[in-house]
């Protein structure tokens, strides 16, 4: 094992020795490689601005034009078609499979109750949009229930109804309400689904727009950040915006949303010390190194399907890193792979051709395969490395559960028996 001093000398002269590559094969826990410092140092143009503010605005506009799941909420319509909404809500495909609740197979009667709670008959021909803001970190669900359903009786990790999670202060358009009144069907900037009414505060459009398009704000740059509000805690994940009211020499005064007992929104002011490195005034500059550094803030954290465990899955890791610089991507892997950016199609290429494409990518670029995404961070002796939130991989046909954010090369095996490298479909640089 190299000493810290020897590693520093090797980095300084840019020498990579074969023992390092051997120690780093597959998933690595080698100290030098699980810290962003190593990768940033070899990224020669890592501090070069990828896009300026105008370029970022233009790129977000391109995302809106090609991604049907991403919305500019500040321009969201005041009414939507009831028939179109019914089609979205009546996506009951998940209920066609065997599902388990608390280890027990759920009955058809239970599934019918979930269908009835979507309250389809109450949707009018034209739906008038209402406005709300999340007042806590809040899950978005596929159906109006907080109970977790799973494909396997013993599974406790992959709740099939969990779609994503929203940070406090996120604006949502309310489109419908469940039969029992406990859930709203909402549209966030990149996802629609069911949210508990107790996790949002109702408000008027003018106030709502202050969250949809804030003028001044702090951006969370750590993996997560907690603000204390009385006896409660507000948990924000990386990339979340917190509305900024005033800046003083040593303090920021921020405004956080609070749900009143009657369900309406109010605001409370809190102070954030400027010495905190967990937040940044406005977005970070869009550099390759800032993207990679942000992703590494999650290293070692648990894999959190749809934001469970207050953590990230593979696409949320990417999404959050890019939110820190003001780029707003779709939520899921397939949508990210097909959104705006410089896209390199890898299907049909042999491994040598794939490696040639990857080596020309800027660190922070994303590599997509069916159901998974990894962030490219650099290479060792010609082998590309990535950081990603990994559920599992395979060794000689046997599943290995990881359930955490890891650093690895692309030799990891999938259930198909192919390596990650061989299964890659698309490489995307978001610029």
Write the pLDDT tens digit of every residue in 216-225: 999 999 999 9
Write the pLDDT tens digit of every residue in 152-177: 999 999 999 999 999 999 999 999 99
| The pLDDT value given to residue 231 | 87
State the DSSP string of 325-348.
Answer: TT----SSHHHHHTSSSEEEE-TT
For residue 2, pLDDT over 70 is answered with no
Question: What's the rounded Cα separation, in Å, for the pair 173 and 88?
Answer: 15
Residues 380 and 323 in one domain: yes
Domain end point (choices 211, 244, 270): 211
CATH code of 167's domain: 2.30.30.40
Look up residue 281 and give its two tokens: 């005034």
| The pLDDT value given to residue 22 | 39
Fill in the DSSP letter of residue 99. Answer: -
For residue 15, pLDDT over 60 is answered with no
Residue 234 placed within a domain: yes
Q: Decide: 23 and 2 in contact? Cβ < 8 Å.
A: no
Residue 249 placed within a domain: yes
Look up residue 381 and give its two tokens: 């002796």
Which residues does 325 contact at the CB level (< 8 Å), separation at least 6?
Answer: 56, 283, 284, 285, 286, 287, 290, 291
Burial class of 221 by CB neighbour count within 10 A (0 to 12, 13 to 18, 19+):
buried
pTM: 0.93
Residues 274 and 336 in one domain: no
* Domain count along the chain: 3
What is the mean predicted confidence (pLDDT) over 12-23? Answer: 37
Residues 370 and 321 in one domain: yes
**Residue 68 Cα distances to 190, 192, 314, 335, angstroms:** 9, 11, 21, 9
N residues, the chain: 431
Residue 29 placed within a domain: yes
Residue 82 placed within a domain: yes
Domain end point (choices 195, 211, 227): 211
| The pLDDT value given to residue 25 | 67
For residue 53, pLDDT over 50 is answered with yes
Residues 171 and 288 in one domain: no
* Closest to 427 measured CA to CA, from 342, 367, 362, 385: 367
Write the pLDDT tens digit of every residue in 294-344: 999 999 999 999 999 999 999 999 999 999 999 999 999 999 999 999 999
Write the pLDDT tens digit of every residue in 249-290: 999 999 999 999 999 999 999 999 999 999 999 999 999 999
Domain end point (choices 281, 311, 331): 281
CATH code of 239's domain: 2.30.30
Q: Determine what percent of the chain is predicted with pLDDT higher than 90.
A: 93
Residues 219 and 264 in one domain: yes
Residues 80 and 199 in one domain: yes
Residues 22 and 42 in one domain: yes
Write the pLDDT tens digit of every residue in 101-149: 999 999 999 999 999 999 999 999 999 999 999 999 999 999 999 999 9
Residue 201 placed within a domain: yes
Mean pLDDT of all residues belonging to the chain: 94
Residue 61 placed within a domain: no
| The pLDDT value given to residue 260 | 97
Q: 108: domain range?
A: 67-211
Write the pLDDT tens digit of every residue in 183-212: 999 999 999 999 999 999 999 999 999 999
CB atoms within 10 A of CB 78: 11
Residues 112 and 135 in one domain: yes
Residues 204 and 224 in one domain: no
Residue 327 placed within a domain: yes
């Amino acid at each position: 094992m190299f000493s810290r001093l020897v590693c520093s000398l090797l980095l300084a002269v840019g020498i990579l020795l074969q023992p390092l590559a051997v120690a780093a094969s597959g998933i690595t826990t080698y100290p030098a490689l699980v810290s962003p410092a190593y990768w940033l140092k070899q990224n020669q143009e890592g501090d070069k601005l990828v896009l300026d503010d105008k370029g970022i605005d233009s790129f977000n506009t391109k995302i809106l034009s090609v991604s049907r799941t991403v919305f500019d909420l500040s321009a969201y319509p005041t009414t939507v078609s009831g028939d179109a909404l019914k089609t979205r809500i009546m996506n009951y495909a998940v209920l066609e499979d065997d599902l388990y609740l608390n280890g027990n197979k759920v009955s058809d009667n239970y599934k019918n109750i979930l269908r009835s709670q979507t309250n389809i008959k109450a949707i009018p021909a034209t739906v008038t949009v209402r406005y709300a803001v999340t007042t806590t970190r809040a899950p978005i669900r596929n159906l109006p229930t907080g109970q977790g359903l799973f494909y396997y009786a013993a599974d406790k990790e992959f709740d099939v109804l969990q779609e994503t999670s929203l940070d406090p202060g996120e604006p949502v358009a309310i489109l419908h309400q469940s039969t029992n009144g406990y859930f709203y069907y909402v549209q966030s900037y990149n996802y629609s689904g069911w949210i508990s009414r107790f996790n949002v505060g109702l408000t008027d459009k003018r106030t709502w727009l202050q969250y949809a398009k804030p003028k001044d704000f702090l951006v969370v740059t750590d993996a997560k950040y907690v603000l204390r509000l009385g006896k409660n805690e507000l948990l924000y994940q990386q990339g979340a915006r917190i509305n900024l009211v005033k800046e003083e020499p040593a303090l920021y005064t921020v405004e956080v949303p609070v749900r009143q007992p009657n369900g309406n929104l109010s605001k409370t002011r809190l102070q954030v010390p400027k010495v905190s490195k967990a937040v940044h005034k406005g977005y970070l500059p869009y550099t390759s190194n800032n993207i990679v550094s942000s992703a590494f803030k999650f290293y070692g954290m648990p894999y959190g399907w749809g934001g469970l465990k207050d953590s990230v899955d593979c696409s949320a890791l990417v999404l959050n890193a890019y939110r820190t610089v003001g780029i707003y991507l779709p939520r899921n892997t397939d949508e990210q792979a097909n959104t705006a950016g410089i896209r390199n199609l890898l299907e049909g290429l042999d491994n040598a051709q794939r490696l040639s494409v990857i080596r020309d990518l800027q660190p922070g670029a994303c590599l997509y395969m069916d159901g998974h995404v990894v962030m490219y961070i650099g290479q060792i002796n010609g082998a590309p490395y990535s950081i990603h939130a990994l559920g599992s991989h395979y060794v000689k046909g046997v599943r290995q559960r990881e359930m955490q954010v890891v650093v690895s090369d692309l030799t990891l095996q999938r259930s198909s028996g192919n390596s990650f490298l061989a299964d890659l479909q698309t490489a995307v640089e978001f610029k």
